[in-house]
Amino acid sequence: MNRADFIEVDLEKMSGVPCFTGTRVPVTNLLDYLEAGDNLDEFLTDFPTVAREQVLGVRKLMRERLLTEYETAA
């Protein structure tokens, strides 16, 4: 899985904040929605430039990163 398929960091776009690829939507917006108790469909409705596949890809990347870091620390 290639991170660039889902997340891009471009200093010319949003000052280098990690965004969903091809959008100006920061990945942190997704985390904020989830922390507030909103669901994925609400996020996608509010940010129509983000595809469901992108969100699922980011979620998978975060899971893999978390598990890898946990396994490395153990």
CB 6 within 8 A of CB 44: no
pTM (2 d.p.): 0.86
Summarize pLDDT for 19-55 with one digit per residue, the tens: 999 999 999 999 999 999 999 999 999 999 999 999 9
Break the chain into its structural domains and give their ranges: 3-73
- 3-73: CATH, from 1.10.760.10, 1.20.120.790, 1.10.10.10, 1.10.3720.10: 1.10.10.10
Measure the CA–CA gap between 51 and 30, rounded to whole angstroms: 12
